Amino acid sequence: MVYWGPKGKTNTAHQMKHIVKIMALLVAMSALWISLLQSSKIPESYTWLLPLYFIVSLGCYGLLMVGVGLMQFPTCPHEAVLLQQDIVEAKEYLKQNGVDVGSNP
Amino acid sequence: MELADRAVGLLLSVISLSIFTYYTFWVIILPFVDSDHFVHKYFLPQEYAILIPVYAGVGLICFLSVFIGYVMLKSKKKKA
């Protein structure tokens, strides 16, 4: 089930570097946030609110993109009909040649 | 059916937009409004603005870990 090809070792190495990158990004962002707070450019009451607000708005943005993508998903009804015809033809052909095609559940 | 897809997509967008506007109003605009204004009635006290997303996030993470653990256990049982 698991294929440990010659890529096995480099895959884990890439995962390690990826996590290090993400942690570095997180540390940089928190350092920026704490420096902004210390130099009192932002009122103290916003310590927890603003990062949480950005996280919530990021989640909302993702949800919005999913919704918009769903609404704009292009369906091809013409191709769907042609595909059904192809399936029927293939089933008949295979039945003639003796392959066992189960019926649709 | 594409109509069901579009309905679900529309519902998702509406939910996300409403959550975004409500939260924006709550966190950013409300502190600058006088406490006598009537609009404060429609918003919970400000502490909840932190608690609710944190609880929702923690609940989501718990659910995800439980789900992943359940799937892993099931796949292990199938292999054995």
Mean pLDDT, rounded, of chain B? 85
Query: Of the given ranges (A39-48, B33-42, B71-80), which has the lowest mean pLDDT?
Result: A39-48
Asked whether residue A104 is assigned to any structural domain, the reply reads no
Return the residue of B nearest to A80 by Cα: B1
Return the pLDDT at B28.
Answer: 78
Q: Please list the alpha-helical segments (H only) found in B1-80.
A: 2-24, 47-79
User: Which residues in chain A touch residue B53, judged by CB atoms under 8 angstroms apart?
Assistant: 52, 55-56
Asked whether residue A5 is assigned to any structural domain, the reply reads no
Return the pLDDT at A103.
Answer: 61
Number of domains in chain A: 1
- Which tokens go with A46? 């916003």
User: Which residues in chain B touch residue A45, judged by CB atoms under 8 angstroms apart?
Assistant: 31
Asked whether residue A56 is assigned to any structural domain, the reply reads yes
Model confidence, pTM:
0.62
Return the pLDDT at B71.
Answer: 94
Q: Which of the two residues, B9 and B70, has the higher pLDDT score?
A: B70
Asked whether residue A29 is assigned to any structural domain, the reply reads yes
Asked whether residue A55 is assigned to any structural domain, the reply reads yes
pLDDT level of residue A4 (50, 70, 90 thresholds): low
Return the pLDDT at A74.
Answer: 77
Asked whether residue A77 is assigned to any structural domain, the reply reads yes
pLDDT tens-digit series, residues A33-65: 888 777 776 666 777 677 888 888 998 999 999
Return the pLDDT at A8.
Answer: 55
Return the pLDDT at B22.
Answer: 86
Cβ separation of A70 and B20 shorter than 8 Å?
Answer: no
Using a CB–CB cutoff of 8 Å, tell me whether B29 touches chain A: no
Using a CB–CB cutoff of 8 Å, tell me whether B31 touches chain A: yes
- Which range marks the domain in which residue A52 is found? 10-97
Q: What is the 8-class DSSP label of residue A79? A: H
Asked whether residue A2 is assigned to any structural domain, the reply reads no
The question of ipTM being above 0.85 is answered as no
Cβ separation of B9 and A69 shorter than 8 Å?
Answer: yes
Asked whether residue A92 is assigned to any structural domain, the reply reads yes
